[in-house]
Copies of this chain bind each other. A is one copy, B any other.
Amino acid sequence: MQRVELVKDSLSFSRMIQGYWRLNDWEMSAQQLVSFIEQGLELGITTTDHADVYGAFTEERRFGQALKLAPHLRDKIEIISKCGILFPCEEQPRVIEKHYDTRRDYIIRAAERSLHELGIERLDVLLIHRPDPLMDADEVAEAFRCLKQAGKVRHFGVSNFSTSQFALLQSRVDEPLVTNQLEISVVHPDYLFDGTLDYLQQHRIRPMAWSCLGGGEVFHDYQYKDLRVRAAEIGEQMGASLDQVLLAFVLALPCQAMPLLGSGNLDRIRTQVGALDLKFDRQQWFSLLEVARGQAVP
């Protein structure tokens, strides 16, 4: 598995990253999860993606139970978490409206809560989960400084940020934001054309890519019928599955995105990792984009 150096001599990720947003749905025991993590490691997947909000604020606790069973795993993996989204749920009894919070104290408390739930000393990376129209960039920078100094978080980044939001926050934070986690797929190619990926390539910031498979809708929605047919043709030419074609489409981008894998099924993950060996021909790539957008490039 290819490794990606995000901060020289300080932070590297596996090119593919295991996402845990659906962990609760997998119905694994802590022991099964330990085994799942270990088998991922055998495939070279060392980087794991979490968020306080996943599983309605319960995912990190569940992941922490596995780490408790197998503490040696901690130093073999990178742990990313996110904060900033709040919505009404059992774990947040005082929340009655979905909203964001990026105030200094809230970020610090949220990171500490993630550490507690995961049962670890330090996050490798903390991301602001969503751009917050009320974000005071000085407060966020101050929270990052505190968490860094306290040894609680090693590096910082963002998720779903536009170029202007990224530039604003970066202007206040001393060290480079290490990533911007974005929805990137052939069915959501907006960032390829609106400047977001141009900016990241310019500043050599590697995005993480979520929903590379289009959230599953590509597999059954009627509106994606033509896309499925074209992807299947390409898959046949390449000797690749639909999963692999969709992932290889994202891997081909010059921003060198790091795809998140959302499945809890190791067979499927093994197949998906195979996308790293595929090589999209440019004509294939543009023809898939054309079908997805309903028009050729000009």
Contact = CB atoms under 8 A, between A and B. Distances in A.
**Most chain B beta-carbon neighbours within 10 Å: one of A99, A189, A192, A298:** A99
A217 interface: no
A252 B134 contact: yes
Contact of A99 (B134, B160, B197, B297): B297
A171 B202 contact: yes
Contacts of A195: 162-165
Contacts of A133: 189, 192-193, 197, 253, 289
A223 interface: no
A168 B134 contact: no
Interface stretch (A42-50, A56-64, A142-150, A280-288): A280-288
Interface of A: 95-101, 130, 133-137, 160, 162-165, 167-168, 171, 189, 192-193, 195, 197-199, 201-202, 252-254, 282-287, 289-290, 296-298
A246 to B, nearest CB: 16
**Most chain B beta-carbon neighbours within 10 Å: one of A189, A285, A286, A290:** A286
Contacts of A199: 164, 167-168
A296 B164 contact: no
Contacts of A171: 202
Contact of A164 (B99, B163, B287, B290): B163
A160 B284 CA distance: 23
Given A133-B193, A136-B201, A164-B199, 19 more contacts: A95-B283, A97-B290, A98-B290, A98-B296, A99-B283, A99-B286, A99-B287, A133-B192, A133-B197, A133-B289, A134-B285, A135-B254, A163-B164, A163-B195, A164-B198, A164-B202, A165-B198, A167-B198, A167-B199
16 contacts: A97-B283, A99-B283, A99-B297, A100-B282, A101-B282, A133-B193, A133-B253, A137-B202, A160-B298, A164-B195, A164-B199, A167-B199, A167-B202, A168-B198, A168-B199, A168-B201
B254 A134 contact: yes
A290 B134 CA distance: 14
A198 B283 CA distance: 34
Contact of A286 (B97, B163, B287): B97
A298 B98 CA distance: 9
A108 to B, nearest CB: 16
B137 A283 contact: no
A109 to B, nearest CB: 14
A286 B98 contact: yes
Given A97-B283, A97-B290, A283-B97, A137 B168 contact: no
A160 B297 CA distance: 12
Contacts of A197: 133
A104 to B, nearest CB: 12
Nearest to A203: B171
